[in-house]
C-alpha cells in the first residue's frame, strides 16, 4: 500500500478540537479536505501528521501552538480611533472586520473592546496560542496523477 508523502495530493476527513474538547471545525457532512502534502497549504503539524499514512488510516494528533497558528502576539492587539469607523457602523465586542495594512493587504481583526474614543482590535488568529487536537482519516492519495483508493 502507498504511504502519503511530500508532493502527494491527499484527501482527508478531520475533526479539529481544542484540548478542552471543544470542536472548532470538521469535514463531517462535507467533501474531504484536499491538499498537497508539504506545499505549505496546511498548518505544519497537520501537514507533518499525514506523511506516512495509508488509505483508511485514522489517527489523533496534538499540535502545539507553534506548529499550528503560532503563539499569541500582543503587538497584534491595536487601538484604532473610533472616529475612523464609518458613521453608520457601531463596533461591538466579537465583531469580525477586515482591515488593510500599509501595503494594501487585507487581514481579519476581531473587536475585543469598545471605548469612548478607541476600539481595541485583535489581529491574532482566533486559534493562536492554542494547542489543537485533530482526528484525521486518510481517504485518498494522488501521487502525481495516480489515484490510489481502497
CA 5, 6, 10, 15 torsion-angle sign: positive
Is 32 part of any domain? yes
Is 55 part of any domain? yes
CATH of residue 23: 3.10.50.40
Domain count, the chain: 2
Within 13 A of 13's CA, how many CA atoms are on the CB side?
10
Q: pTM value?
A: 0.80
62-114 residue pLDDT tens: 999 999 999 999 999 999 999 998 889 999 999 999 998 888 889 899 999 99
- Structural domain containing residue 142: 9-69+128-148
Amino acid at each position: 500500500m502507498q504511504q502519503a508523502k511530500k508532493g502527494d495530493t491527499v484527501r482527508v476527513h478531520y475533526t479539529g478540537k481544542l484540548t478542552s474538547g471543544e470542536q472548532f471545525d470538521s469535514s463531517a457532512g462535507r467533501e474531504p479536505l484536499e491538499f498537497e502534502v508539504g506545499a505549505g497549504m496546511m498548518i505544519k503539524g497537520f501537514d507533518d501528521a499525514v506523511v506516512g499514512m495509508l488509505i483508511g488510516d485514522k489517527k489523533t494528533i496534538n499540535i502545539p501552538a507553534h506548529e499550528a497558528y503560532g503563539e499569541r502576539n500582543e503587538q497584534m492587539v491595536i487601538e484604532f480611533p473610533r472616529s475612523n469607523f464609518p458613521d453608520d457602523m457601531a463596533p461591538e465586542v466579537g465583531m469580525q472586520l477586515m482591515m488593510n495594512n500599509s501595503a494594501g493587504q487585507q487581514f481579519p481583526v476581531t473587536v475585543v473592546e469598545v471605548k469612548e474614543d478607541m476600539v481595541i482590535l485583535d489581529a491574532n488568529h482566533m486559534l493562536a496560542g492554542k494547542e489543537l487536537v485533530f482526528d484525521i482519516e486518510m481517504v485518498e492519495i494522488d501521487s502525481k496523477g495516480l489515484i490510489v483508493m481502497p
